[in-house]
Amino acid sequence: GAGVSQSPSNKVTEKGKDVELRCDPISGHTALYWYRQSLGQGLEFLIYFQGNSAPDKSGLPSDRFSAERTGGSVSTLTIQRTQQEDSAVYLCASSPGKGQEKNIQYFGAGTRLSVL
Amino acid sequence: KNQVEQSPQSLIILEGKNCTLQCNYTVSPFSNLRWYKQDTGRGPVSLTIMTFSENTKSNGRYTATLDADTKQSSLHITASQLSDSASYICVVNPGGYNKLIFGAGTRLAVHP
């Protein structure tokens, strides 16, 4: 596609439920990032995928958070047993991973998660 | 601790006026600094990226400056337009990593 696509754009869930957020990166981009943006806060790094390398999961806040990237393209961020403090906008970004602009990140519009 | 501080937190200006947004950082090592524009409900979009050796970079009406010695950057917007209303985020790359450090942003509102 033309840009990074995220779905759903909005998700309302009840505390304790599991949610899955999806990210379709720009075709050909080898690097994919997940961030969390809370109100009035800077973006918080969650996880980074680069090609077939093991992902950098150092930003995941707890073991309730996990992410996969299947076939080096689409990624899913899963939050288990959601808590109210998980409410935020979850942003996905991809970058070419090579060339002059290898680290320029292109962001999706995000998924706004509200945990009631 | 690696931090990026932006000021002001919010700003209101009249259409056609200029404004300058500030970014101070304590990130080390340093690879590059980026300014992003984030419209409400959208993801951030890159405006400029500057490496250690670059002092200024322009993108249309946006001009970013960098002083790597004092670890300060500014984003100057000339002849503001209503469409400039957005959050402007300063982002520092500590180098050798792919985890950027984001400021909390400056929310700019341009009024007619």
pLDDT of residue B96: 58
**Any CB–CB contact under 8 A between A41 and chain B?**
yes
| SS3 assignment for chain B | CCCEEEECCEEEEECCCCEEEEEEECCCCCCEEEEEEECCCCCCEEEEEEECCCCEEEECCEEEEEECCCCEEEEEECCCCHHHCEEEEEEEECCCCCCCEECCCEEEEEEC
Residue of B43, B93, B98 lying closest to A107 (CB–CB): B43
Q: Do B101 and A42 touch (CB under 8 A)?
A: yes
| SS3 assignment for A12-67 | EECCCCCEEEEEECCCCCCEEEEEEECCCCCCEEEEEEECCCCCECCCCCCCCEEE
Q: Do A107 and B41 touch (CB under 8 A)?
A: no
Q: In whole numbers, what is the pLDDT of chain A averaged over residues?
A: 91
What is the average pLDDT across A92-109?
85
Q: Do B43 and A109 touch (CB under 8 A)?
A: yes
Higher pLDDT, A77 or A52: A77
Best of B38, B47, B100, B101 to disrupt the A interface by mutation (most A CBs within 10 Å)? B100
The whole-angstrom separation of Cα A72 and Cα B38 is 27
Q: pLDDT of chain B along its 112 residues, tens only?
A: 779 999 999 999 999 999 999 999 998 888 889 999 999 888 999 999 999 889 999 999 999 999 999 999 999 999 999 999 999 999 998 875 567 889 999 999 999 9
Amino acid at A95: S
Q: Do A48 and B99 touch (CB under 8 A)?
A: yes
Residue of B4, B43, B46 lying closest to A104 (CB–CB): B46
pLDDT of residue A14: 97
Burial grade of A22 (CB within 10 A; 0-12, 13-18, 19 or more): middle
CA B96 to chain A, closest CA, distance in angstroms equals 11
Q: Do A105 and B41 touch (CB under 8 A)?
A: no
In chain A, what residues touch B49 (CB-CB under 8 Å)?
A: 104
CA B64 to chain A, closest CA, distance in angstroms equals 17
In chain B, what residues touch A35 (CB-CB under 8 Å)?
A: 102
Q: Do B98 and A108 touch (CB under 8 A)?
A: no
Q: Using CA coordinates, name the residue in chain B closest to A103.
A: B98
